[in-house]
Amino acid sequence: MADENLRDLNAFVTVAEEGSFTRAAARLRVSQSALSQTVRNLEKRLGIRLLNRTTRNVSPTEAGERLLTQVAPALAQIAHGLDQIGRLRERPSGTLRLSADEFAIESFLWPKLQRFLADYPEINLELVTDYARGDIVRERIDAGVRRGNLVSKDMIALRIGPDIPMAVVATPDCFEARPAPEQPEDLAEHDCINLRLPTHGELFSWTFSAHGHDTRVATTGRLIFTTVAQVRTACLAGFGLAYLPRAYVADELDAGRLVEVLVNWRKTFEGYHLYYASRREHPPALAALIEALRFRG
């Protein structure tokens, strides 16, 4: 009934505005006889005449004028709202919320997002720094970024970056008192700066790879942080060895501020993926982001 009333009210308003069934029918792209029947049905349901009809023109009755005054602005507002929705469908705009850890934001997202923001000035971005594997649907996040093996199987995942080599690094003076470790087990003799994960509260395992086999080593030290930026800062200050993405400390390695050890045991993790909830038609802003972040090798 609601749809029928809206259709019939729109027909009445159009006839009243045009002052002619002929012109109103052309505007609505319906036949004149069908339009006349629609208005008659509305008058019958309301139990009152809305239009005075003569051979020369059509004009609202007193009841029609009152109805027109109230209904016409509402219908115009509805039409405006639908037009705005259509514009959103055609032009990327609005706000996108992304969840990612800080290394992904700094190393993979931000370099591309600077160009993305310049290309789409009507898109706003909210970047949520998060290590946990939360429910992006429940948390109203448009898309998340995680390493490929950490993405839930019910999500759609798109690779956005290369594989991630890890590195055990420290300042050169860390090895003045103790020799550099030659194999992962030697880390037990060193202060290691650890990262605590939010998902279950455990420490991030230092994983090493050699001859096709992975080895996880439990490390200890005086410092534990919850973000890799803090781990890197403490490592640069000489407080111990750190296990970090090599790209995250590449400048420090090149400058000699840090040195890498256990190079022959270096573990490489699968690269970052952008993930989202559905393959159904995306809002233009999300579709534009997906295309901008797509990894092209």
What is the CATH code for 2-90? 1.10.10.10
What is the CATH code for 94-162+271-293? 3.40.190.10
- What is d(CA 88, CA 84) in angstroms, rounded to the nearest whole number? 6
Give, as one character, the DSSP assignment of residue 92.
-
- What is d(CA 278, CA 162) in angstroms, rounded to the nearest whole number? 24
pLDDT band at 236 (very low <50, low <70, confident <90, very high): very high
The average pLDDT across 241-266 equals: 97
Q: Are 289 and 143 contacting, i.e. CB atoms less than 8 angstroms apart? A: yes
pLDDT band at 85 (very low <50, low <70, confident <90, very high): low
pLDDT digits (tens, 9 = 90+) for 112-167: 999 999 999 999 999 998 877 777 878 888 999 998 777 777 788 889 999 999 99
Domain definitions of the chain by residue range: 2-90, 94-162+271-293, 164-269
- What is d(CA 211, CA 271) in angstroms, rounded to the nearest whole number? 21
pLDDT digits (tens, 9 = 90+) for 10-59: 888 888 888 888 888 888 889 988 988 998 988 898 899 999 988 778 89
Closest CA to 59 of 18, 6, 7: 18
Kindly tell me if the per-residue pLDDT of 88 is higher than 80: no
Other CB atoms closer than 10 Å to residue 193's CB: what's the count?
Answer: 24
The average pLDDT across 174-203 equals: 90
Kindly tell me if the per-residue pLDDT of 295 is higher than 90: no
Fold of 164-269: D-Maltodextrin-Binding Protein; domain 2 (3.40.190)
Domains 94-162+271-293 and 164-269 share a fold: yes
The average pLDDT across 192-208 equals: 88
The average pLDDT across 68-79 equals: 84
How far apart, in Å, are the Cα atoms of 4 and each of 7, 10, 23, 154? 5, 10, 22, 40
The more confidently predicted of residues 93 and 238 is 238
Kindly tell me if the per-residue pLDDT of 1 is higher than 60: no
Percentage of the chain modeled with pLDDT above 90? 49
